Amino acid sequence: FNEHGFTRAKIADIARGAGVAQGSLYQYFEDKKALFTYCAEWGLSLFMKKLDERMHIGEMDVFEYFQDNVAKTEIIEEERELVVFIQLIAREADLIDPSMKAMYNVGDMYGMKLIQNSKRKGTIRADIDDELLMAYFLAVAERFKYRWMERYVDFTAEMSEEHSVAMNRELEQMLD
């Protein structure tokens, strides 16, 4: 999918690359769209698992999550192909529904944990509805993600120290 995008990717090529028979893929996935959706969910789950291993998201609140950009940058560098794939999903307009829904489910799980930790730690008011906080948290995260990708991140090249510093400065301003 990274090499050809969804439309031009062929199940036969994917099977060959995975070292399995084409028919084997159809035992697990109804069609190419189902495989793509599975890959989207798996990819974001892997990214979030790696992030959790380094940052211990299960113990953080929303503010702590936004403050630690080092681990995110390191994983982006280490998992370049995975990040490119996640961006591919966002560009594949005809797949938005199932692929994005799968990714959002993973993101929501981690986001809700951050919100619950924030309430427990007292960094966010406990009387505000979790779903409303989730909508706010996701909107801020999405806006910053697109802002950073537009300004600083070229996934075909290494992220410069200058870009990392600029991203962290903007994040600190937002948190303040």
List pLDDT tens digits, range 38-61. 888 888 888 888 888 888 888 888
**Separation between Cα atoms, residue 17 and residue 12, nearest integer Å:** 9
| Whether the model pTM is above 0.85 | no
Predicted confidence band at 92 (pLDDT cuts at 50, 70, 90)? low
Instruction: Decide: helix, strand or coil at residue 6.
Output: helix
pLDDT, residue 130, reads: 93
pLDDT, residue 142, reads: 74
Q: Say how many C-beta atoms besides its own lie within 10 A of residue 149's C-beta.
A: 14
Contact (Cβ atoms closer than 8 angstroms) between residue 144 and residue 150: no
Contact (Cβ atoms closer than 8 angstroms) between residue 138 and residue 111: yes
pLDDT, residue 118, reads: 92
**Separation between Cα atoms, residue 140 and residue 138, nearest integer Å:** 5
pLDDT, residue 165, reads: 78
Cα dihedral across residues 125, 140, 148, 117: positive or negative: positive
Q: Which residues of 117-144 are buried (b: 16+ CB within 10 A; e: fewer)?
A: bbbeeeebeeeeeeeebbeebeeeeeee
Give the Å distances, CA to CA, from 72 to 22, 152, 158: 35, 14, 14
Higher pLDDT, 93 or 89: 89
**Separation between Cα atoms, residue 68 and residue 167, nearest integer Å:** 11
Average pLDDT of every residue of the chain: 80
Predicted confidence band at 66 (pLDDT cuts at 50, 70, 90)? confident
